[in-house]
Amino acid sequence: MTAPISAETLAAPGTRHRFLSPHYDDIALSAGGLATLLARQGLPVTVEVIFGEEPEVGAPLTAFAEELHTAWGLSAEEVISARRAEEASAARVMGTASLNLPFRDCIYRGEQYVSNEHIFGSPTQAESGLPEDLIAALGLPDAPDPGLWLYAPLAVGNHVDHQHAFAAGVALARRGWNVLFYEDLPYALLPGGHDRRLSTLPEGVELEPAAIVPVDDAWESKIDAIFAYPSQLETIFSHYVGVGSSRDKVDEAMRVYAGQYAPGSLAERYWRVAP
Ligand SMILES: [Zn+2]
């Protein structure tokens, strides 16, 4: 195993940071502490929402997409603008910049993903080229830039959009880019979620822990950023995690998770592709 990366190394002067966020709330939940700390150092930090594009105009929504809109309390007409407003408010809390990449959420990509089994299953064959399209959309130069850090999801929970972003991260790491993988919350909050993902990584991919970043100083901002997405709180914390969506309950569930790495400290753990 190679030496761990310290928080100081990540925050070195001159570094730049691009957090790949499959959906509108993934960075606040999974990496909001580090993103906030880096931004407070005055470093450029961008959260890039990959699958946040508007559904195709005139194309009918699937019943599954309609069902999700109802759970979020948003109509089809307002869903993307409402979620972008939430994203902007989280960005203000974290001090980050926001960018939208031109891809649609899997629930808006035709009839490919029309149930929870589909969205937490395997990406369809038709989408095998999507990770490379995603890399192209990042507009990176050919040669890896040592001052740039990229953050991709580990895809705990197996959401297909997270799996695509993970695959893009692995491909970039193999081309020499600095890529760290964050543990996807809320999925990792469920018992065993993290281990299940590590034991079912795609053929030939091996990860190792790279950094444990103490985020105590950014904790309140991280929770504030999570609460900048009111449309998601009920779905995530009441229905999925099952703790309820009051600030106390969310804070407590997040603390239990963040407290597992070092006694008396709240932290986020990041992974990298093993050499
Ligand atoms: Zn997501």
Q: List, for residues 120-161, the tens digit of each pLDDT value.
A: 999 999 999 999 999 999 999 999 999 999 999 999 999 999
Rounded percentage of the chain residues whose pLDDT exceeds 90: 89
Q: Which residues surround ligand 1, an ion (CB under 5 A)?
A: 22-23, 26
Cα of 87 vs centre of ligand 1, distance in Å, is 13
Residues 221, 194, 80, 251, CA torsion sign: negative
Residues paired with 151 in a beta bridge: 19, 180
Tens digit of pLDDT for each residue in 157-175?
A: 999 999 999 999 999 999 9
User: What's the CA-to-centroid distance between 164 and ligand 1, angstroms?
Assistant: 11
pLDDT of residue 72: 86
Distance between CA atoms of 193 and 183, rounded to whole angstroms? 10
d(CA 157, CA 197): 7
For residue 188, pLDDT over 90 is answered with: yes
Distance from residue 13's CA to the centre of ligand 1 (Å): 30
Predicted confidence band of residue 84 (pLDDT cuts 50, 70, 90) = very high
Alpha carbon distance 47, 122 (integer Å):
25
The per-residue pLDDT of the chain, averaged, comes to 95
Range in 58-67, 120-129, 144-153, 241-250 the model is least confident about? 58-67
User: From the CA of 15, how far away is ligand 1's center (Å)?
Assistant: 26
Euclidean distance between CA atoms 157 and 175, whole angstroms: 26
Q: What burial class does residue 21 get, using C-beta atoms within 10 Å of its C-beta: 0-12 exposed, 13-18 middle, 19+ buried?
A: buried
* 21 C-alpha to ligand 1 centroid (Å): 7
pLDDT at 1: 62
Domains of the chain: 7-273 (3.40.50.10320)
Q: Alpha-carbon distance 5 to 9, whole Å?
A: 6
